[in-house]
Amino acid sequence: MPPVTNFWHILQTLPYLAILRAGFDITLVAYLLYRLILLAKGRRAWQIILGIGVFFAFLIASEKLGLIELNWLLTQVTPLGPVAIVILLYPELRDILEKLGRLDFWGAPIHVTAREDVSLTVEKVVRAAVVLSGTKTGALIVLERETGLDDIIITGTPLDCEVSQPLLSTIFYDGTPLHDGAAIIRGNRIAAAGCRLPTTESPNVGTNVHMRHRAAIGMSENSDAITVVVSEERGTISLTSNGKLVPGLSEATLRQRLQEAFGIAAPKKTILTSALHLPENLPFGRRKTVKISPPKGDGTETSVGPSKGAKDSPLQTPPLTEQGGQTR
């Protein structure tokens, strides 16, 4: 008997109540797994879960392919798996059990941010960094990407407000209670401020790197987030990504790096910009004067830019070094 016919025959012999019960059971389990996956993706533990999946994939593959030694080694490690999972995922497991009793766990919305909102958020962060740099106000601004930062957000004060340059400047003002921590940006909103970040323990980071930059590096080591750092001593703007610190960024360079990190397409290169060697992402309000060599020695200058009389003062920050070899 074909499998489809056999399955249909079994359904006909079952009472309708049993069919409804089985359907409800499957739907409930599927939805529960779906919510748990969404919750796990909002945390750094997602990488650990993926690593466990890769481990079992190797275990099955080694058995099917007859790799005796590899299969033996993985088999010996497998009994330690439950204990290792509890140790590694203890904070996440505790939080998951707490959220199971909340109504928002069963109907929590999925955050989707439009591309235009991301582009606008990047511009607001750049403007805030420039203003904070001009006043030498220390700042830590973390922009969430694929790796969720819920475990970092809960260490600070929830805000859930739209990103703006004045608000970021106020948060990091020296007189506010949230200025010592980091601001976490999720999509186009500030999720929380005053958050504690994990500091790096890498031996490659010198002792001359101070805590604010160490926290930014540690954040980029534990997630794919991008962190913008403003030094309160020199006013320099730095950026961390993938465990690397890039100090001394100008306004234009910071904007370009954030656009690249979030996959925001830069303006297309035109024949005019190629011929004049102009930057492809001129900031608003900037006027560039470029000398063109016309025929027969007519020494005229052509101005390319928006409004007349706008400022031409890109922020040039010195490298991340202080007197005595210290940074901040």
Cβ atoms of 193 and 122 within 8 Å: the answer is no
Task: State how far the Cα of 240 lies from the Cα of 36, in Å rounded to an integer.
Answer: 30
Left, alpha or beta for 324 (phi > 0: left; psi -120 to 50: alpha)?
Answer: left
Ordered domains of the chain (ranges, CATH):
3-107 (no CATH), 115-261 (3.40.1700.10)
58: enclosing H helix or E strand:
helix 45-64
pLDDT tens for 185-231 read: 998 899 999 999 988 887 777 777 888 898 999 898 888 899 999 99
Rounded CA-CA distance 211/214 in Å is: 5
Residue 114's pLDDT band, with cuts at 50, 70 and 90, is low
DSSP code of residue 105? H
**Interacting residues of 188 by C-beta distance below 8 A, sequence separation 6+:** 113, 117, 118, 120, 121, 162, 163
| Cα–Cα distance, 219 to 226 (Å, whole number) | 8
Does 276 have pLDDT greater than 50?
Answer: no
pLDDT of 38 higher than 80? no
Which tens digits make up the pLDDT trace of 234-275? Answer: 889 999 988 889 999 999 999 999 999 888 755 444 443 344
Q: Considering the entire predicted model, what is its pTM?
A: 0.55
Question: Whole-number mean pLDDT of the chain?
Answer: 74
pLDDT tier for residue 84 given thresholds of 50, 70 and 90: confident
